[in-house]
Amino acid sequence: MDVREHEENTGDFRPDSNFLIGFFEEKENSLFYRYDAERVRIEPWGDNSLRVRATKEASMDGEDWALSEAVREPDGVRIGIGEYSAEIRNGKIRAVINNIGKISFFNQKNELLLEEFLRNREDMFASTTSSLLIEAREFKPLTGGVYHLTARFESDPEERIYGMGQYQQNFLNLKGADLELAHRNSQASVPFMISSLGYGFLWNNPAVGRVCFGKNVTTWEACSTKKLDYWITAGDSPSEIEEAYAEAVGKPPMMPEYGLGFWQCKLRYQTQEELLEVAREYKRRNIPIDVIVVDYFHWPKQGDWRFDETYWPDPDAMIAELKEMGIELMVSVWPMVDYQSENFEEMKARGLLTRVEKGVRIDSLYMGNTIHFDPTNPEARGYVWGKIRKNYYDRGVRIFWLDEAEPEYAVYDFENYRYFLGPNVQIGNIYPVMYAKTFFDGMREAGMDGIVNLLRCAWAGSQKYGALVWSGDIQSSFPSMKCQIAAGLNMAIAGIPWWTTDIGGFFGGDSRDPAFHELLVRWFEYGTFCPVMRLHGYRMPYQPQHGTTGGAACVSGAPNEIWSYGEDVERILERYIRIREAMRPYVREQMRRAHEKGTPVMRPLFYDFPEDMGAWEIEDEYMFGPDILVAPVTEAKQEEKEVYLPAGPAWTDAWTGQVYEGGERVRVSAPLDRIPVFTANGYELAIR
């Protein structure tokens, strides 16, 4: 249906002479609409995709935010302007905007994908008139020349929605969810979603806000902004939509070889010798290990960004010994700067720190009075990288753990913090992207390829800066573990293919407790089939402190190596490390696909089996690459599990070799040392 047919289908209604009509214009290969103070621009942005911007400012600001990649100029874009509506068509997607500015999106089959929610007596295309007078795009003026923005869309109650980043809840399908568009410890707002109706949608606005995927209306809000900005794409499959999104916002580098195996970590190794002895013990036991981690407070003060020589007297020798063992060292970096740091006064004088709108200039109280450095300021990024390069990178450190990346505040008063690019409430969700960019740009300039750094948060586009995201400081419990399955899969759909958890959870695991041993084993099994396999946690009981000066004031948890929980646990964990090692060629291939196409390494069943309606309903299983189906055990004392096998291929139980037809549910044995895993397409997993 073209714009002329669309108008003809309005029936006998014709506006009278007092009917209000906006103005349409075609220019710059875009469709423009204006009425009164509002300006709307709809333009092609990659294949089968459109970008929509609107403002009531005198001109549209030029920020592209997540849409900073140079996308291919699509061929065959068509724009048509009628008497009462206009349309723009780009491949498989078409947008129609009517005389009062309501926008509707259709695919190439003329099926409605999404349309704005507008209730207005003057909507000549509505099936019924309405006296509610609800705007689809509501710009509510705020002091300072900005707006509280609300964008409303009609809701299909049967629609299923996936993506949006990482939230600590069990729901994979987000239909009906109310989500805060803001970052917190263990919450990462990455506002891209895939709909079961066949479209992907990016809310391209880093302002703090909310989205509610209601049964009656979908509502997006930005608490403080100058414009509406979103990107929408149509596709015949989730993979087509995901790949279009990756082209628009960026793809990760190729994962280096040391990202494919097992990473050892705990809170926290207190001395150089303690860390080295752990690494040596792994080698003595002939257990494969790729990375070991120096966690936080290995420094004298936050913001010094260097080893405390009291406890780490010869980092050059330590790094050299680790490299000789074939182990990479990852070092924790925090963005906080203590008032007593050797760098504080210079950074303050040069304007490299974040600010507060009122009160004392302190945003965190953990282990000192601190303020964050401001990565939205290019000069601050250069300054911090200069310290990092001198004190870590030039010594041989090639992986950084960029903790506190939300950033984390003592009080989440988003309106009180201000960055170089603007108030936190207006642009704050960009912080983890710029934090990752600080290190990515520095490492690339130093000649590195295959850059990977671990962050506790992300926003749209973080992946192109080598961000490996983990799910934050979560509880050590089965309910918490279950939440991580939804979190990881929705992060994957949101475009973050590198993701991991603290195996065993972070808070609350007592190394002496058999119940925790069971949880640790189940989580370790699950972690074997995550993009990165990393053991971490704050284990009880506390350990005696090595000294009282500098970072030694921070406590340390109990040992967290695989032999720390007894021989029975160690035997199971070692087996899974070896399973992961045997999968190295397979994992490498999935990382290559993520690098080249943006393909998630782990993904919901529907990603690979979109024609199987049953696959869209499964929330406790996932695909690890195209050939491995994983069904983690997430209940204590559970020794059997019902597993849905999608229609299409034949499925082989990796433990027993039994073959099943797809499209059915099977009940399989799941003793403590066995995670239900099935393979397809002839792939053989070295698991028995």
- Is 408 among the domain residues? yes
Report how far Cα 30 is from the mean position of its chain's Cα atoms: 31
- What CATH number is associated with residue 466? 3.20.20.80
Q: Return d(Cα 406, Cα 375) in angstroms, integer.
A: 12
Q: Return d(Cα 557, Cα 26) in angstroms, integer.
A: 63
Same domain flag for 81 and 180: yes
C-alpha dihedral sign at 618, 620, 623, 629: negative
Same domain flag for 23 and 112: yes
Same domain flag for 532 and 609: no
- Is 421 among the domain residues? yes
Q: Return d(Cα 485, Cα 494) in angstroms, integer.
A: 14
Tens digit of each residue's pLDDT (9 = 90 or more) over 82-97: 989 999 999 999 999 9
- Is 684 among the domain residues? no
Active site residues: 403, 406, 473
Of 597, 622, 652, which residue sits at a domain end? 597
Of 205, 229, 249, which residue sits at a domain end? 249
Same domain flag for 562 and 645: no
- What CATH number is associated with residue 63? 2.60.40.1760
pLDDT at site 204: 98
- What CATH number is associated with residue 630? 2.60.40.1180
Same domain flag for 211 and 343: no
pLDDT at site 219: 98
- Is 523 among the domain residues? yes
- Is 508 among the domain residues? yes
Residue 188: enclosing H or E segment and its boundaries? strand 188-195
Same domain flag for 243 and 297: no
Same domain flag for 189 and 234: yes
Instruction: Say how many residues make up the chain.
Output: 688
Q: Return d(Cα 499, Cα 622) in angstroms, integer.
A: 14
- Is 688 among the domain residues? no
First vs last C-alpha separation in the chain: 57
Q: Return d(Cα 119, Cα 22) in angstroms, integer.
A: 17
Of 206, 227, 249, which residue sits at a domain end? 249
Q: Return d(Cα 80, Cα 134) in angstroms, integer.
A: 27
Same domain flag for 232 and 365: no
C-alpha dihedral sign at 457, 460, 466, 470: positive
For residue 315, give Cα distances in angstroms to 276, 292, 335, 396: 11, 14, 22, 9
- Is 264 among the domain residues? yes
Q: Which two tokens stand for residue 369?
A: 């009075």
Tens digit of each residue's pLDDT (9 = 90 or more) over 413-453: 999 999 999 999 999 999 999 999 999 999 999 999 999 99
The alpha carbons of the chain give a radius of gyration, in whole angstroms, of: 26
Same domain flag for 522 and 440: yes
* Beta-sheet strands, E only, within 570-639: 602-603, 622-624, 628-630
Same domain flag for 91 and 129: yes
Within a 10 A sphere around the Cβ of 338, how many other Cβ atoms? Answer: 21
For residue 162, give Cα distances in angstroms to 185, 195, 222, 228, 236: 21, 7, 20, 22, 16
Which class for 515: exposed (0-12), middle (13-18), buried (19 or more C-beta within 10 A)? middle
Same domain flag for 533 and 652: no
- Is 29 among the domain residues? yes
Same domain flag for 309 and 275: yes
Tens digit of each residue's pLDDT (9 = 90 or more) over 338-390: 999 999 999 999 999 999 999 999 999 999 999 999 999 999 999 999 999 99
Q: Which domain holds residue 98?
A: 3-249
| Residues lower than pLDDT 50 in the chain | 10-17
Three-state SS letters, 352-403: CECEECCCCCCCECCCCCEEEECCCCHHHHHHHHHHHHHHCHHHCCCEEEEC
What are the strands of the beta sheet with 38-44, ordered from one edge? 23-27, 30-35, 38-44, 49-55, 227-234, 199-203, 188-195, 161-166
What is the domain count for the chain? 3
Angle between helix 378-391 and helix 431-445 axes, rounded to 10 deg = 50
DSSP state of 636: T
